[in-house]
Amino acid sequence: MAKGAYDVIVVGAGFGGSACAALLAKRGLKVLLLEKNAKAGGKAMALSKKGFTYTAWVVITAPIQGNMFEVVLKELGMENRVELVAPDPKGGAIYKNSKGKYVPMPEMPPDSVMDPNLVFDWLEVKEGE
């Protein structure tokens, strides 16, 4: 790498690193974004099984409107590419099933290990669902 080839090097291509790199690049800086995994996304990485795609661990614990996630999306001109959905105010998690409907996620046993590769079995994702 030539000296001075980049103004900024961002390590980690999860939400924070990707947003940081995109905002800096939008402001005219030369940015190198590095990620240790084969795919960018961090906890937003998509996993697929039997025709169902699941975005692992996307959790926003803030108001849907006016939060920093929404501010960054708007600044990058991406607000129409992401759907923000408010879960039940009483709490819990939801996911979008293959029919396009948002439904509550079933309770996980308290001693479960949250391995993204096990999520599909946990949700009992079946073909055609």
pLDDT over threshold 90, residue 30: yes
* Whether residues 66 and 79 fall in one domain: yes
Q: What is the pTM for the complete model shown?
A: 0.61
Q: Do 90 and 118 belong together in one domain?
A: yes
Top pLDDT among 15 and 53 is at 15
Same domain, 49 and 78: yes
Residues 72 and 94 in one domain: yes
Q: Which domain holds residue 20?
A: 1-44
84 and 66 assigned to the same domain: yes
Task: Dump pLDDT digits (tens) for 48-69.
Answer: 777 766 666 655 555 555 678 7
How many domains is the chain built from?
A: 2
The letter for the amino acid at 27 is R
Give, as one character, the DSSP assignment of residue 107.
P
| H and E: helices and strands count for the chain | 3, 6
Contact 10, 17 (CB under 8 A): yes
DSSP letter, residue 108: P
Local confidence band at 120 (pLDDT 50, 70, 90 cut-offs):
low
- Parallel, antiparallel, or unpaired for β 94-96 and 102-104? antiparallel
Dig out the tokens for 19 from the structure.
């947003």
Both 58 and 32 in one domain: the answer is: no
Does residue 34 sit in the same domain as residue 75? Answer: no
pLDDT digits (tens, 9 = 90+) for 64-88: 556 787 888 899 999 898 777 766 7
Check whether residue 90 and residue 129 sit in a common domain: yes
